Every structure is written in structure tokens, then in C-alpha cells.
Homo-oligomer: A and B are copies of this chain.
Amino acid sequence: MSLPFKYDQVAVGEFGGSTSSSVDFDRARVAILPIPLDRTTSYVSGTRNGPHEILVASSHMELWDEETGTEIHSIGIATLPEMELPFASMDEVVCEIRRVVAEIVSRGKFPMVLGGEHSITPAVVAALAAKHPGLSVLQLDAHADLRESFMGTPHSHACAMRRSAEFAPLTQVAIRSLSAEEAAAVPSLPTKIFYDYNMRSDPAWMDRVVDSLSDTVYISIDVDGLDPAIMPATGTPEPGGLSWHEALTLLRKVIENRTVVGCDIVELSPMGGNVAPNFLCAKLVYKILSYRFGREL
């Protein structure tokens, strides 16, 4: 909004929160796209509030990253408005997300998607796979999400990666919950699973994750892939999972050895009275962007 007078402002809906660091979409290198998809009837809680709380948390962080020695805002980060998705059918939702992400990608921006339910991922993968033939997907998650359909729909969060695998092969990390049906289907699906219970038995497991990926990679982070100790704020928190240090080390290794062309962070369901999980997600965005674009500064 243009005002006929000036004052210092807080930009509530922008990553980093500081007006000085926000840029026009045209000059941005990164586009943060909030997709608060959450089919509940209440506004009280749930993944619907995830994107917003990540943005709020981001405004309380230092803009400088001591690990890479960079201030990643200088590459240009544009925070888009939250998508509104008042459609009855998930088919329409999927189409619209795919269209919007395609628009972003066609203009050369790196899409950093903030969910919302995991069911948004296939649409994003579809848009990126169309742009980047040979794309592969790295998924951090507690759940395989490989059901053919769930509760009668192929668009459930429980099918998110089965749908994504129709567009690009998967590498699934920290998996520790799947059904017998999914387990039976795995051998016939284009996926490589690193199960949480034994993936660390090989000291070089992170290298094997990298090796399993093609040159061009999309990263999908379901926050329940992290240890509930640091991420209790999600719908079905499974014990086990990645520590903060493991997650960062793996992400850095993948980004340094492959070309990462997009990312999503989904399934944060903010808790009343505990902001640590929101803060962690905001920092995760910063870290991924610093690893990915810090070398360009």
C-alpha cells in the first residue's frame, strides 16, 4: 500500500520481516510461496497456520549466517501472498498450485514453498519436472506417503509421494512409518528408501543418499522427518528421525553436489505456547537458501 506519509514499518507477511530487504518479484532470485492448504473447519490450529508462523518467526532471526559468512537476503527474496484455495475438489487445487509454481519457475525464480499439508507436493513436483527433465526428489519424512489412494481419494497427504513418483523418482529419508500395503508396493515403485531404524548403520549413508539422486533435485521436507524432540508441532509425531545437525549436514551435502531447483517445507502445525518449532522451520529456510545461494554472493 502506498502511503502519503512515511514511518518505520514491520512487514508482517515477508520472510525476514524487514522492509529494507524485500524486493520486487522481478528482481528476486527466490520466491517464497505460502500454500496454507488445510481442510479443517476451524481456524484455531493446524497446518493452515504453518506458513504464517514461519514468516513471523523469520522476522526474529538474524539475517547473517555465520556458517557461510553471508547475508542471504542480498540475493533477493520475494515473499508472495498466501494462496487462497477455496476449491471443492483437490483436482482443481492441484491444477492451480501447479500453474502458479510453473509461473514462478518460468520466470527463473527458485520456489521455496511453505505448507500446508503434504498433499501440495505432487503439484509442485509436476511443475518442476516439466521444466527440468530428469528431476529427482529428496524427501525427508517419517511416513512413506506411498498409498495408491486413501479415504477414497488419490490426493490425500498419505498418497503425496506416490503421486510425486509419477513425475520423478524418489529418495526417501528417515522413514519410520508405512503400511503393509505400501511396503508391498515399494519394490515396484521408483523409490529408494532410507529407513530410520537402520540408515545410520553405514557411516557413509549421506553419500549414498546423494548418489541416489540425479543431477537436478527437488527437496520436500515434511517436518515430521525431524525428531519430535525438536519438532513436536506436527500432526503425527513419530519418535526417531533426524537431528538438527543431521538435517543440516545432509542438506548441505546434497546442495553442494547436486543442483537443487526447488524446495518445500510442509506439515508444520504450530502449537500454542511453544514457538521453537516455528523458529526451527524459519531457520531451515535460511540455511537452505544460504547453502544454495551463498556461493553466488
CB within 8 Å of B: which residues of A?
1-5, 7-13, 24-26, 36, 38-47, 52, 55-57, 60-64, 66-67, 69, 71, 78-89, 92, 96, 99-100, 103, 107, 117-119, 149, 151-153, 156-157, 175-180, 183, 195, 197-198, 227-230, 232, 234-240, 244-245, 248, 267, 269, 271-276, 279-280, 283-284
The 3 closest A-B pairs by CB, nearest first: A88-B152, A272-B272, A42-B235
- Find out whether the CB atom of A244 lies under 8 angstroms from the CB atom of B236: no
Give the complex CA separation of A13 and B56 in angstroms: 11
In the complex, the chain B residue whose C-beta lies closest to that of A97 is: B7
In the complex, the chain B residue whose C-beta lies closest to that of A249 is: B197
5 additional contacts (CB under 8 A) given A45-B45, A62-B177, A86-B152:
A4-B25, A7-B84, A39-B39, A227-B230, A228-B230
- Find out whether the CB atom of A271 lies under 8 angstroms from the CB atom of B272: yes
Please indicate which of the listed interface residues A10, A52, A79, A178 has the most CB atoms of chain B within 10 Å of its own CB. Answer: A10
Give the complex CA separation of A286 and B137 in angstroms: 31
Partner of A283, one of B12, B87, B96, B238: B238
Copies in the complex: 6
14 pairs from A and B in contact (CB 8 Å cutoff): A1-B79, A2-B24, A9-B81, A10-B82, A10-B84, A13-B13, A42-B234, A43-B275, A45-B46, A45-B273, A46-B46, A67-B197, A229-B229, A239-B244
Cβ of A274: which chain B residues have Cβ within 8 Å of it?
Answer: 232, 271-272, 274
Give the complex CA separation of A103 and B5 in angstroms: 7
- Find out whether the CB atom of B7 lies under 8 angstroms from the CB atom of A83: yes
A1-B25, A63-B179, A230-B227 known; A236+B9 contact, CB < 8 A: no
- Find out whether the CB atom of B78 lies under 8 angstroms from the CB atom of A1: yes
- Find out whether the CB atom of A237 lies under 8 angstroms from the CB atom of B1: no
- Find out whether the CB atom of A10 lies under 8 angstroms from the CB atom of B197: no
Give the complex CA separation of A188 and B71 in angstroms: 21
A64-B180, A88-B151, A274-B232 known; A24+B1 contact, CB < 8 A: yes
Give the complex CA separation of A8 and B41 in angstroms: 20
Give the complex CA separation of A103 and B125 in angstroms: 47
- Find out whether the CB atom of A179 lies under 8 angstroms from the CB atom of B62: yes
Give the complex CA separation of A228 and B176 in angstroms: 21
Give the complex CA separation of A89 and B228 in angstroms: 33
Give the complex CA separation of A47 and B43 in angstroms: 12
Give the complex CA separation of A82 and B47 in angstroms: 25
In the complex, the chain B residue whose C-beta lies closest to that of A57 is: B43
Cβ of A12: which chain B residues have Cβ within 8 Å of it?
Answer: 12-13, 52, 55, 81-82
Cβ of A238: which chain B residues have Cβ within 8 Å of it?
Answer: 279, 283
- Find out whether the CB atom of B44 lies under 8 angstroms from the CB atom of A40: no
